[in-house]
Structure 1
Amino acid sequence: MYSLAFKLFLFLSLFQIFVSARTLTQEPNQFQLLKYHKGALLSGKISVNLIWYGEFKPSQRAIISDFITSLTPSSKTLNQPSVATWWKTTEKYYKLAASDKNPLSLTLGKQIIDDTYTLGKSLTDQHIRKLASKGDQHDAVNVVLTSADVAVTGFGMSRCGTHGHARGFGKRGTKFAYIWVGNSETQCPGQCAWPFHAPVYGPQSPPLVAPNNDVGLDGMVINLASLLAGTATNPFGNGYYQGPQNAPLEAASACPGVYGKGAYPGYAGDLLVDTTTGGSFNAYGENGRKFLLPALYDPTTSGCSTMV
């Protein structure tokens, strides 16, 4: 589902830089409106279950957990721009779809840890779906996160992550949404951890300092954010997207490489910088976190919406 965006990167990388379906900066009105294909969007109270495969430090798991928690507005997060404000852009898709279902509300659900590599260190898509099925299969998105020493088919060569859906074990016809994101710190940081690592192709601007001081995990946040936006607005392949159904451009992948105003090939845009750590970011989160999140396509303006 995510391969076209990466192919787009490989083509555009002759001129610029890629980030898991993110590379080219665009001015407003250069994109056509992502077409709504009349399918279901995620709605109601949805738990985001995290399935950790491989070795992750508790501090690394906390980065992802805090990002998920930050998606819901909280009185604890008073600083702006916030992760919750970034996520609000997805609400515009629901309004345009005239959905009569309950608004989407995401919460952090279960955390399942498999640090013994029960399926080995070389995984296929079938393995990813098997791992995803360990989470809840109703009112949930199951996120499989693989550690830096785990190889996944196509990882770094054709994708940095993917989202899809699978048949549930319960009532006939039920299906659940899932996401996979890999830690690219050692395998393919030039493809999947930009702008925190020098790109493989394109302009060689100095890499930015990761806001949580972890190139692999901060890169995973970017890719997870992109895929989560795509999952909410196109969970079962018939929601909002542009292009072929099996390789669509979606809410975040339609704005590749854009993180702040003034972005251009090889430059992520004008970002905030932590005066203490030097980390670049564009959104505040829970527990004092700072994150760099991709621009989202705004269907009401036909442009890329940035936080800063």
Structure 2
Amino acid sequence: MCQGLSAPSPPCSALLSFTLLLLLLSVVGPVSAWRPWPQSNKMNISDYAFGDSKKYEGSSEFVKLRYHMGPVLTTNITVHTIWYGKWERSQKKIIREFINSISAANSPHPSVAGWWRTVQLYTDQTGANISKSVRLGEEKNDRFYSHGKSLTRLSIQSVIKSAITGKTRPLPINPRSGLYLLLTADDVYVQDFCTSVCGFHYFTFPSLVGYTLPYAWVGNSAKFCPGQCAYPFSVPAYIPNRKPFKSPNGDVGVDGMISVIGHEMAELATNPLANAWYAGQDPSFPVEIADLCEGIYGTGGGGSYTGQVFDARDGATYNMNGIRRKFLVQWLWSHVLNYCTGPNALDH
């Protein structure tokens, strides 16, 4: 449930043995994150005549996204960030500004805040909506790669444990409304990175970390696989004659991370413990609200085409505005509309 979202897994208690945890991870891994798909020729809004149907972007009468009675993040969400490895100040600034833009109501339309409004539509069993407030919390820098440059899914949790139990400025422990975001630098390899995931989310095991904390991991793919995890800002070699889009913030790896971060945060908010909002009968392999819209960034998206996006004055590609920056972020599934939507949809 953490590879793209959280896939409901067997209850994890402090009584679980380390051996059982290893077995669990081998069977039920974190939900895998957004995996970009090649798209066809890019078009501008003016190039596309919108058809009669307003809901074919990923829509399907067969999609049965259901609520499974688990908790969602209805309390003001605080994002605690762990910067693992060496990060440039400029890179951190791009990611911080994306997170800060989620609650920035005054950003120009179409906005990141407008994108998050789809997440806010989801409720818990009391009818309480997911919080519209998302703010940056404390940060932890791990510049010296305390757990090495090759991480497994299990060691991801060890990194988080180190961050909340460190002797100097440990991250606060906030199981109810905290969201722990582990970001690995471009020289760190994580299990299944580039082959099947670009990021994932899950929750920590009390027997390993001491608490059940919702977390997400996203890696910088600039050195390992930009054509897979930073697409369309980088194009893999097997796609001939395709020019990559220009990234809106001048950093292919980090601009590629932004959409994955958005994907994981949306799914963590709606399915933090893998027992809330997802489609499918098997909680071990859930399909979450971002999984349903992989590769869709605008009206008409689907298959190999990302949909209608914008060109900035400098030629960069984006589909929504933040406080001071522009971003390209995938759409999300609306259970109210029963199709994928975003703030740049032509029917808004």
Range of TM-score over shorter length: 0.7 to 0.9
The yes-or-no answer on 1:266 pairing with 2:304 is: yes
How far apart are 1:99 and its partner, in Å? 2.7
Question: Secondary structure in 2 aligned to 1:88?
Answer: helix
For 2:12, the equivalent position in structure 1 comes to none
Runs (5+) with no aligned partner, structure 2: 6-32, 40-55, 164-170
For 2:218, the equivalent position in structure 1 comes to 181
Distance 1:118 1:194, change over 3 A: same
Tell me the amino acid that sits aligned with residue 159 of structure 1: V
Partner deviation per Cα, 1:75-132 (whole Å, 9 max, x = no partner): 4x2x10110110010111127x543478452110111111111111111112211222
Separation (CA, whole Å) in 1 of partners of 2:84 and 2:296: 30
For 1:128, the equivalent position in structure 2 comes to 156
For 1:91, the equivalent position in structure 2 comes to 120
For 2:145, the equivalent position in structure 1 comes to 117
For 1:137, the equivalent position in structure 2 comes to 173
Runs (5+) with no aligned partner, structure 1: 6-18
Distance 1:307 1:54, change over 3 A: same
Matches within 5 A, 1:1-308: 1-3=1-3, 20-23=34-37, 26-75=57-106, 77=107, 79-94=108-123, 97-100=125-128, 103=131, 105-133=133-161, 134=163, 135-138=171-174, 139-167=177-205, 174-199=211-236, 205-243=242-280, 244-275=282-313, 277-286=314-323, 288-308=324-344
Q: Normalising to structure 2: TM-score of the pair?
A: 0.76
How far apart are 1:189 and its partner, in Å? 1.4
For 1:11, the equivalent position in structure 2 comes to none
Tell me the amino acid that sits aligned with residue 305 of structure 1: T
Distance 1:303 1:205, change over 3 A: farther
Tell me the amino acid that sits aligned with residue 88 of structure 1: R
How far apart are 1:205 and its partner, in Å? 3.8
Give the paired residue count.
289
Separation (CA, whole Å) in 2 of partners of 1:304 and 1:31: 14
How far apart are 1:149 and its partner, in Å? 0.5
How far apart are 1:2 and its partner, in Å? 4.7
- Between 182-191 and 24-33, report the one with greater CA deviation: 24-33
Whose Rg is larger?
2
Separation (CA, whole Å) in 2 of partners of 1:101 and 1:3: 24
How far apart are 1:213 and its partner, in Å? 1.1
Separation (CA, whole Å) in 1 of partners of 2:229 and 2:216: 16
CA-based RMSD of the aligned residues comes to 2.6
Tell me the amino acid that sits aligned with residue 37 of structure 1: H
How far apart are 1:4 and its partner, in Å? 7.7
Separation (CA, whole Å) in 1 of partners of 2:91 and 2:335: 34
Q: Normalising to structure 1: TM-score of the pair?
A: 0.86
Tell me the amino acid that sits aligned with residue 110 of structure 2: P
Partner deviation per Cα, 1:173-207 (whole Å, 9 max, x = no partner): x5110000000111111221111111466786432
Partner deviation per Cα, 1:53-92 (whole Å, 9 max, x = no partner): 01110000001100110011344x2x10110110010111
Percent of aligned positions that are identical: 35
For 2:48, the equivalent position in structure 1 comes to none
Question: Secondary structure in 1 aligned to 2:291?
Answer: coil
How far apart are 1:31 and its partner, in Å? 5.0
Question: Secondary structure in 2 aligned to 1:47?
Answer: strand
